[in-house]
Structure 1
């Protein structure tokens, strides 16, 4: 990909490699400490970020670690919400073991998310980011919640570019034998496909990073985000297959065929208030893939930028705090 994107321009190639070397060798700032666990089902746990307001459970994607919502000092959506009349809770999916090979995406909802919601003992506001939003929607269809917030959450997977869907199908064909042997789909296999969603930007960001003057605060910000993006537990074999084959390949959610707890999930049947957040400039999850229910909020920020970017607080954090802090019936 690097050779293709910098073909005929050795200066760009050198700049990108310099950025990569800096990223690999630079000191890391310490991450914020993990918050206490208040509920656990198997490997999945709920962490409590404090705050005096109504509880809001944030469901991250199965892809990459959950701490993008608590990335670094001054860039933590959850710690900020705890000062804004909300009690944020974070679902940590943990790391799957090979013996969980048959637990698909729906199984994570049925066997981990729904039991954790019952363990909390009261209806909470449910907020899901990326694939976590897809899963939160399914949970809200099966368990009473105060409200549902979908943040860059895909539902109509047929709205993804055809080339991206074909890439992911090809990835599964290549990775399936290894995944069958291991019982899991390694994160590294998925990351290669994410790079290909926007290869020009992938290379350009390392070029720009390599040119930053030493001591620039953007260096640690870049490192924190890239460390998150390049980290994460594997997917179970069945979750990888369902994500790449059934969701991206077959759009079973958009076609009304995704079974959770024995029945198809129908977004139109969600009874609680819904806020559906999508960005018109999201290159990872197109706005057209959103479920299209409830109150729509449309942004012009990137998939990750809406969570940790410099404009995220005004564009997303503040409206989200207002939405989540509203008193609602139990």
Structure 2
């Protein structure tokens, strides 16, 4: 991809390669989350940060690690919400176990997420990011909740551009035989799909990193975000099959046909406070894919930038905290 995107610009190619090598060789300091595991279901854990009162459960995507919501001391949505007095929990999906091969997305909701919630002292608020928001909406139809938040969460999969759906369908067609032999979907398959959505920007950011000052806040932030984006457990084969075939190809959620826990998943029917966050500049989950319900909060941020970018506190963290405090936690 780098070779293709830079074929007419040798200087650009060399800067991109320099930035890539600089990223590969950078020093790293791993940070441990300030949270305790309070429940477990299979490989999944429920992490509790701190706070009392009604629990707010954050559900990340199955794709990429949960740490994006608690990325660093300076960039942590979890820590910010704790500072506002909110009782914060975060789901860590963990690494699939040997027997999880056929566990689909709906199975993750039924056999992982719902068991993590069953011993909470009162109905929680569920807030899901990306595919975690899609799963949060399904879970909210199967258990009592005090509120639902969907942050950049795809629901109407026919809202993706036709070119994107063709790209993703083609990616799965090529990768499926290998994934069936392995019994899981490697992270590399998913990441190559994300790169293909905006290949020019992917190369440009590494070229720009070549000029970043060593050990600057800018450089440390880039490394942390890129490490997160390039890490992650594989998807189970069942989750990959359901994601690509039932959601992306068949649009089962958006057409009212996605069955989870024996019921049609339908966030429109959930009668609790519902915040629906979408961004007009999100290329990974375009605004057109959002569920057509709830109180909408429109942003102008990228899919990851809305969580960890320089404008994240003002655009998302603060209004999300206010919604939780005013609508769900009184």
Q: Residues 307-318 of structure 1: matches in 2 within 5 Å?
A: 307-318=307-318
Give the C-alpha shift of residue 152 in structure 1. 0.2
Counterpart Cα distance in 1 of 2:81 and 2:291: 25
1:29 equivalent in alignment to 2:21:
no
Give the 3-state SS of the residue equivalent to 1:307 in structure 2: helix
Q: Residues 247-326 of structure 1: matches in 2 within 5 Å?
A: 247-326=247-326
Counterpart Cα distance in 2 of 1:167 and 1:13: 25
Give the C-alpha shift of residue 162 in structure 1. 1.2
| RMSD over equivalenced CA pairs, Å | 1.4
- Between 1:43-52 and 1:81-90, the stretch displaced more is 43-52
Deviations 1:151-194 (A, max 9, x none): 00000011111111111111111111221112111111110010
Counterpart Cα distance in 1 of 2:139 and 2:4: 43
- Between 1:250-259 and 1:169-178, the stretch displaced more is 169-178
Deviations 1:33-84 (A, max 9, x none): 3521011111111101103453210000000000000001110100111010
* Unmatched tracts of structure 2, length 5 or more: none
Residue of structure 1 equivalent to 2:67: 67
Do the aligned partners of 1:32 and 1:71 also contact (CA within 8 Å) in 2? no
Give the 3-state SS of the residue equivalent to 2:83 in structure 1: coil
Q: How many residues align?
A: 330
Counterpart Cα distance in 2 of 1:329 and 1:72: 26
Do the aligned partners of 2:137 and 2:266 also contact (CA within 8 Å) in 1? no
Counterpart Cα distance in 2 of 1:177 and 1:325: 48
Counterpart Cα distance in 2 of 1:133 and 1:82: 21
Give the C-alpha shift of residue 328 in structure 1. 4.2
Counterpart Cα distance in 2 of 1:35 and 1:211: 36
Runs (4+) of structure 1 exceeding 4 A deviation are 327-330
Change (3 A) 1:281 1:327: closer
Do the aligned partners of 1:47 and 1:89 also contact (CA within 8 Å) in 2? yes
Residue of structure 1 equivalent to 2:149: 149
Residue of structure 2 equivalent to 1:221: 221
Change (3 A) 1:180 1:34: farther
Do the aligned partners of 2:54 and 2:329 also contact (CA within 8 Å) in 1? no
Give the C-alpha shift of residue 214 in structure 1. 2.2
Change (3 A) 1:327 1:319: closer
Counterpart Cα distance in 2 of 1:183 and 1:17: 34
Counterpart Cα distance in 1 of 2:116 and 2:99: 21
1:114 equivalent in alignment to 2:97:
no
Give the C-alpha shift of residue 32 in structure 1. 3.5
Counterpart Cα distance in 2 of 1:308 and 1:32: 17
Residue of structure 2 equivalent to 1:177: 177
Residue of structure 2 equivalent to 1:44: 44
Do the aligned partners of 1:32 and 1:73 also contact (CA within 8 Å) in 2? no
Counterpart Cα distance in 2 of 1:115 and 1:125: 15
Give the 3-state SS of the residue equivalent to 1:127 in structure 2: strand
Change (3 A) 1:82 1:252: same
Change (3 A) 1:94 1:254: same
**TM-score when normalising by structure 1:** 0.97
Do the aligned partners of 1:106 and 1:260 also contact (CA within 8 Å) in 2? yes
Counterpart Cα distance in 2 of 1:98 and 1:240: 16
